[in-house]
Structure 1
């Protein structure tokens, strides 16, 4: 019996060895041409694959095994090489990126970054090189291209994002000033056209906001091109040819991913951006601003007396800034800066001195054309600094083409050198700029309060799209624009919290505030910056309730679209008992309600059609009757 057993064992071993010899190479080959990157078990997972037959790269994203982004093409085409095909894998390098940094404004001041990074290196048959950098964190996945010198100008990307056709989509039609309205579609039914790259999708894997980070004048701004009937959104650059000189690292193509609360709270696009280039940030001070444009228009801008009256009101309310908009330096179209006396013709030095004595800083509007060249910036910026101006609102760039991005690079360095905070209007959207240049307090890039065609659905979509990626100068508080805005007075007050901006510009008139003392007193309480941000309730296009913390107080802002209702908001702001003061719409105007609730309880608020609310929650103890200080 021994011999048959030995024979059977030998045969089994031989068969097993043959199996191992035939299957091991296939397993190794498969591993060599598919790579995954993830920051953890429940974090989004990127999978990069190289097709053996075509040499093309694809990237897909899943979360907890569910689809976020379907396999999507990756590649870039230059004058010298098409690195979107016929690629051969060379090697892989991994590292962990861990950073801590502090900002001057945003969703929270202290940030902690932990990302897993993979660098995959490839070559074409002709020897052209391409490195694909992929990063994954708890709240997103991003990739970028790295090219060596000698590749020539960039002619375009083959990058795209393939979404499930039935994915819900919230898209803003692309405009150079990024002021398109957000509308809900499915990924496939969105009309053929171009959309802003701040596009939000809902898939089986949760929510994903497409975005961009670390965009500078070395490259070109991106938008999304889409054909009706397809779930594909292609990356289209603003320039047909991107000028390059030497090695190139492109901006990050980012996918902010998670449940809606995670996406809303995310700082992923900032986390991807380079560290601050401003060594001393002590002069950068966020705060609320009395903005005079919607309050008085150009006639107010041309009047020193009117501006002093606005300064008086800001001082009375302890609002730290007043913004002087278009008109203050106009004679015909602009001052003749070739006149040696042009700097002495302005009343701005008198206004800044007047405001300084009252504890108010002045922000001034200026057209981009006045700062277009180094010579013009050398005239304007030192003068504004000498006058005591605290910041500039620069308007009408209206482009994301490479020459304009180079201008951004220059003006950012120059304004920082002259200690001038910046508010960009008619502009690009943040794209990580506020981490690298923390004196950029806010940017427009949104269909804001000035617009007369905004909808309540648009207002409830902005916290999940545009405001996710950085400060947004929507300019809330325009109570006088009854009939020109789609929301109620309580919702208008709530926008000051629901929308984050390092310089929160209040767009109302003093008379409109005094006619609504509850809203005015609420705005008086708003802090300069936030320690934390949480989404309490939300659905794009329907409702958005955000809580932002300063110290031990949480400020609440809720906006709703649709019919009147009793809103139910989970008070997920921490354990213990809280005094919650809300400002709501009543039958005769705004009313204040007070409740004592435990953390995790449901806050109920009566909301009118297109309404909302504002509120403050503070720790309750016996004897505490108000959250106002």
Structure 2
């Protein structure tokens, strides 16, 4: 019996070995062609798949097992190779990113970044190489392409985002100045056309804001193209050909995702961006400003006397900046920049000195065409620094083409070297720029207060779209524009907090503020840098109530669209008892209410049609009667 048993055992072992040899490679091959990346079990999960037959890549995102982004194509095409198909997998490399950084402005100053990163390497049959880098954090997923040198110019991407057709969508029609209004659709019913890449969707996996980060002159800005009837949103570049010189890392295609509070509070696009390149940042000081354009227009910009009067008002209010807009160097007092003695003929040094004596810094408007060459920048920027100007508002770039992005790359280190704060208008949107260049205080890229066609619904959508990705120069406070803005006075006051901007430019006239002393005194209290941000209540297009903390005080800003209502807002700013002071619309103008509430209680506010409120909350103690200082 012994010999047959040994023979049987040997035969069994041989059969098992053969089975393992034939099945093991199949299991390994299947695993190699599907990869998952996530920061934790509760965080969004990216799944990257390589189709064996076509060699094409796709990426999908889920959260808690629910759909965020359906499988969507990934790929890039250069003049040397089509890197969207016929790919074969080479290898995978993982790493963890854990870092801290501090900003000068934004939703919170101290940031902690924790991400898991996977780098997947592929090659075509001809040997062309593509690395796909995917990052995942608690509030987002992002990917970028990395190409070796000699890959050739980029001719386009096949990248797209596929949403469930019935997903709710809030989209802004694409404009070069990024000033389109956000309108609600579903993913499939949005009209055929081009949309801003800051598109918000709601699926069963929560809310997702599409975005971009680390955009520089090495590449081209992106927009989304859509065909009605589908849930597909394809990436289209501003340039038909992106010039490359050496290795290339494209911008991040980012998906900020989670519940609405998570998306609103997210700093994901900043977290993806490179660290600060500004060196010493001690001179960078965010603040509120009296902006004179809507208050006085071009005539005020051409008048030294008018500007001194605005400086006087800013000093009286304790506002740290006054912004002089267009007109001050266009034949002002019979001089312009074509005059060889223009630097000595200007009254700007006199205004700067006048303002400095009163504790007010001057910010000046400049057209981009006057700074578009190295020679012009060498003439302007040192002169402004010598005069003592604190910052520049640069206007009318109106492009996200590679050539314009290279101009940004040039002027950013130059303005930092000359200690000039920057406010970009007619511009791209932040896309991580404020982490890399913290002297960039704010950017327009929004249908702001100047627009006469804004709706209350648009105003309630901005905290969940444009303002998620960085500071937004909406210029609130234009109380004098009654009939030209869609909201109430209390809502207008609330915008100063609902919208974050490192330079919060108040757009009203001194007379309009003095006619509304409650709003004026509230603006005196509002800072422009925040230690924390929380969403108290919100639904895009309907309501947005944000709380932002500065030190031991929380500032509240609420905006609503639609009929009058009794709003009840949860006071989720921490335990204990709070003194809450709100500014609301009354029958004869603005009114103020004070109440003591516990953390978690609800603030009841009577909101007028398309109204809102502003407020301050501070820890209550016996005898405390106001949070104002």
Q: Provide the residue aligned with 1:46 in structure 2.
A: 46
How far apart, CA to CA, are the structure 1 residues paired with 2:181 and 2:202? 18
How far apart, CA to CA, are the structure 2 residues paired with 1:110 and 1:307? 36
Q: Map residues 412-561 of structure 1 onto 2, 5 A cutoff.
A: 412-561=412-561
Q: Provide the residue aligned with 1:80 in structure 2.
A: 80
Matched, 1:603 2:576: no
Whether contact under 8 Å (2:392, 2:422) holds in the other structure is yes
Q: Provide the residue aligned with 2:362 in structure 1.
A: 362
**SS of the residue aligned with 1:580?**
strand
Superposition RMSD in Å: 1.9
Q: Indicate the larger mover: 600-609 or 458-467.
A: 600-609
Q: How far apart are residue 27 of structure 1 and its match?
A: 1.8
How far apart, CA to CA, are the structure 2 residues paired with 1:477 and 1:605? 21
Q: Map residues 279-290 of structure 1 onto 2, 5 A cutoff.
A: 279-290=279-290
Q: Provide the residue aligned with 1:375 in structure 2.
A: 375
How far apart, CA to CA, are the structure 1 residues paired with 2:411 and 2:239? 21
* Cα offsets for 1:125-158 (capped at 9, x unmatched): 0000000000000000000000001111100000
**SS of the residue aligned with 2:235?**
strand
TM-score when scaled to structure 1? 0.97
Q: How far apart are residue 63 of structure 1 and its match?
A: 0.5
Whether contact under 8 Å (2:60, 2:69) holds in the other structure is yes
Aligned length: 629
Matched, 1:348 2:318: no
**Ranges in structure 2 where 5+ consecutive residues have no aligned partner:** none
How far apart, CA to CA, are the structure 1 residues paired with 2:100 and 2:185? 38
How far apart, CA to CA, are the structure 1 residues paired with 2:398 and 2:577? 49
Q: Map residues 126-525 of structure 1 onto 2, 5 A cutoff.
A: 126-331=126-331, 336-525=336-525
Q: How far apart are residue 527 of structure 1 and its match?
A: 1.6
Q: How far apart are residue 211 of structure 1 and its match?
A: 0.3
How far apart, CA to CA, are the structure 1 residues paired with 2:17 and 2:576? 65
Matched, 1:572 2:561: no
How far apart, CA to CA, are the structure 2 residues paired with 1:613 and 1:122? 54
Whether contact under 8 Å (2:335, 2:346) holds in the other structure is no
How far apart, CA to CA, are the structure 2 residues paired with 1:223 and 1:260? 23
Q: How far apart are residue 332 of structure 1 and its match?
A: 8.5
TM-score when scaled to structure 2? 0.97
Q: How far apart are residue 340 of structure 1 and its match?
A: 2.7
Whether contact under 8 Å (2:329, 2:336) holds in the other structure is no
How far apart, CA to CA, are the structure 1 residues paired with 2:340 and 2:479? 43
How far apart, CA to CA, are the structure 1 residues paired with 2:548 and 2:357? 32
How far apart, CA to CA, are the structure 2 residues paired with 1:5 and 1:578? 83
How far apart, CA to CA, are the structure 2 residues paired with 1:146 and 1:268? 20
How far apart, CA to CA, are the structure 1 residues paired with 2:320 and 2:63? 44
Whether contact under 8 Å (2:583, 2:613) holds in the other structure is yes
Q: Provide the residue aligned with 1:616 in structure 2.
A: 616
Q: Provide the residue aligned with 1:106 in structure 2.
A: 106
**SS of the residue aligned with 2:28?**
helix
How far apart, CA to CA, are the structure 1 residues paired with 2:581 and 2:5? 84
Q: Against the structure 1 CA distance between its residues 122 and 534, is the aligned structure 2 distance closer, same or farther, given a 3 Å change threshold?
A: same
Q: Against the structure 1 CA distance between its residues 125 and 297, is the aligned structure 2 distance closer, same or farther, given a 3 Å change threshold?
A: same
* Cα offsets for 1:435-479 (capped at 9, x unmatched): 000000000000000000000000000000000000000000000
* Cα offsets for 1:52-75 (capped at 9, x unmatched): 000000011000111100111101
Q: How far apart are residue 9 of structure 1 and its match?
A: 9.4
* Cα offsets for 1:513-542 (capped at 9, x unmatched): 000001111000012310000000000000
How far apart, CA to CA, are the structure 2 residues paired with 1:361 and 1:481? 26
